[in-house]
């Protein structure tokens, strides 16, 4: 276990090499979060994977070219330039397949990924046998090696990440239009091909600068995991972009810091694991789309539906007992509820228990039920809303009267006070009134004086 002094040194970025690595991976995470969001919205999540594998031949060929000119072949700018050119070739191949054939995007991405990666592996084997050259260390581009970062690497990553993020912000409107409806964008005269190439260029840039830190195998996780996690937190686009950039930056910061505390763990793998943990937390606990909050909302809705069904059934029973007169809140038999709804005795006991806890029922003699004052008022409102919706569905949605009760049951529970008023005003303006019990599916014209 690392000592407290080591932890404090990493947190405060006191070590020079740690500071370079942490800041580099954080900037990379922010840029990857922004650019990856457009890939996710474009439904091209595997594009980063294809491009990352397409950069491997460029690394090997750039090494061979630099050695042929008398260099060592280990110049990082030269290797990254080769990876960039190779990635651009991968982009051109995918666009060529997409625009000249009827094949889908996934076919193009699969072709580029497999063929370019195969060429890259073969090229790496060939440069290992070059006389007077040592290709040791080139494999770090496959798995990543943050420990070898120097100040030049940090400057390159910072510049590319800043430019990529700036372009993403400047072309935000155009990228969103391209992601959601490229056909509409083309019909309106937008340069969709240019925007597509620009987006793929940004993906290539982020992929290339990510080779040194997480490697071409894991860089896809850096591009996809942050925006995917951000989707659980919001329904809006701008907050999603910000959250995605934040998750990417935090993943890089924490992952690189943990790797610095435990040198035996590779930084790239730790960064991806941290990003995956943040994704898991988002998937489970995010308030908008998280699994647990969604289950809680579903449970609350289920209780609301059961309560409204209980109260409406009770009110309709009281209507029948009133015999066409004013409805009075009096006790009625429990067995009448089982006849009214398709509940089992066990389900009914559960629903009654919840209704008592919510103060919708009053104590009554065994085998009888009595609504409380608040429960009676709620039952009246629930019944009126149900019949209001039934009337609208029959008249304007062409729902058969024999089926309208079921259809109204499915939608009436989301009626708010504003929507109820709008429906009442609309029906009133068309001379329609609510049906008179006990015929719940009859349409009656409004009375005129």
- Domain end marker among 289, 323, 347: 289
What tens digit of pLDDT does each residue of 258-309 get?
888 877 777 778 888 899 999 999 999 999 889 999 999 888 888 888 888 8
> CATH number for the domain including 340?
1.10.10.10
pLDDT of residue 245: 93
**428: domain range?**
297-445
What tens digit of pLDDT does each residue of 120-136 get?
888 877 877 766 555 55
Mean pLDDT of the region 51-77 = 78
Is a pLDDT exceeding 80 seen at residue 423? no
pLDDT of residue 78: 81
Is a pLDDT exceeding 90 seen at residue 425? no
Instruction: Looking at the structure, tell me whether residues 233 and 357 fall in a common domain.
Output: no
3-state secondary structure of 436: coil
* Listed residue (247, 268, 249) closest to 258, CA to CA: 268
Instruction: Looking at the structure, tell me whether residues 280 and 304 fall in a common domain.
Output: no
Longest dimension (CA), the chain: 106
pTM of the model: 0.76
pLDDT of residue 427: 63
Instruction: Looking at the structure, tell me whether residues 150 and 23 fall in a common domain.
Output: yes
CA distance 318 to 140: 78
What tens digit of pLDDT does each residue of 360-385 get?
888 878 888 889 888 888 888 888 87
DSSP secondary structure letters along 80-107 = HHHHHHHHHHHHHHHHHHHHHSS--HHH
Instruction: Looking at the structure, tell me whether residues 270 and 369 fall in a common domain.
Output: no
Average pLDDT, rounded, for the chain: 80
CA distance 109 to 98: 10
- Domain end marker among 262, 289, 316: 289
Is a pLDDT exceeding 70 seen at residue 428? no
Confidence of residue 142 (pLDDT cuts 50, 70, 90): low
Is a pLDDT exceeding 50 seen at residue 445? no
Mean pLDDT of the region 139-157 = 73
* Listed residue (120, 109, 114, 101) closest to 47, CA to CA: 109
Instruction: Looking at the structure, tell me whether residues 105 and 124 fall in a common domain.
Output: yes
- Domain end marker among 254, 271, 289: 289
Percent of the chain with pLDDT over 90: 10
Q: Total structural domains in the chain?
A: 2
Confidence of residue 442 (pLDDT cuts 50, 70, 90): very low
Instruction: Looking at the structure, tell me whether residues 183 and 106 fall in a common domain.
Output: yes
């Amino acid at each position: 276990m690392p000592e407290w002094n080591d932890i404090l040194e990493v947190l405060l970025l006191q070590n020079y090499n740690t500071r370079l690595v942490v800041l580099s991976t954080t900037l990379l995470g922010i840029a990857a979060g922004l650019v990856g969001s457009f890939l996710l919205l474009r439904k091209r999540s595997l594009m980063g994977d294809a491009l990352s594998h397409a950069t491997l031949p460029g690394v090997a060929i750039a090494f061979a070219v630099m050695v042929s000119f008398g260099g060592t072949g280990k110049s990082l700018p030269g290797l990254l330039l080769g990876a960039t050119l190779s990635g651009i070739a991968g982009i051109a191949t995918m666009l060529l397949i997409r625009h000249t054939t009827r094949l889908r995007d996934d076919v193009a991405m699969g072709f580029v990924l497999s063929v370019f990666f195969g060429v890259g592996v073969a090229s790496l084997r060939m440069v290992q046998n070059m006389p007077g050259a040592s290709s040791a260390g080139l494999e770090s581009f496959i798995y990543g090696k943050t420990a070898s970062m120097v100040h030049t690497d940090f400057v390159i990553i910072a510049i590319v990440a800043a430019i990529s993020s700036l372009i993403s912000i400047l072309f935000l409107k155009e990228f969103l239009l391209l992601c959601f409806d490229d056909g509409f964008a083309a019909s309106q005269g937008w340069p969709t091909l240019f925007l597509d190439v620009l987006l793929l260029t940004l993906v290539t840039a982020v992929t290339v600068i990510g080779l040194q830190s997480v490697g071409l195998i894991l860089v896809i996780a850096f591009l996809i995991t942050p925006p995917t996690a951000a989707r659980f937190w919001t329904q809006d686009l701008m907050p999603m972009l910000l959250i995605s950039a934040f998750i990417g930056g935090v993943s890089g910061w924490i992952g690189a810091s943990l790797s610095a505390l435990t040198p035996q763990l590779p930084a790239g793998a730790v960064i991806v694991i941290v990003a995956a943990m943040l994704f898991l937390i988002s998937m489970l606990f995010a308030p908008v789309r998280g699994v647990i909050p969604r289950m809680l909302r579903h449970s609350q809705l289920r209780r609301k539906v059961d309560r409204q069904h209980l109260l409406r059934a009770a009110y309709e029973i009281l209507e029948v007992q009133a015999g066409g007169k004013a409805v009075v809140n009096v006790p009625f038999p429990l067995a009448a509820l089982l006849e009214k709804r398709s509940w089992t005795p066990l389900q009914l006991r559960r629903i009654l228990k919840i209704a008592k806890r919510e103060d919708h029922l009053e104590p009554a003699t065994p085998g009888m039920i009595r609504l409380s004052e608040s429960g009676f008022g709620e039952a009246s409102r629930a019944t009126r809303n149900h019949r209001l919706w039934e009337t609208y569905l029959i008249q304007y949605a062409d729902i058969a009267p024999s089926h309208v009760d079921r259809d109204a049951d499915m939608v009436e529970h989301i009626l708010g006070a504003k929507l109820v008023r709008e429906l009442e005003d609309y029906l009133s303006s068309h001379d329609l009134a609510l049906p008179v019990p006990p015929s719940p599916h009859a349409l009656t014209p409004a009375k005129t004086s």
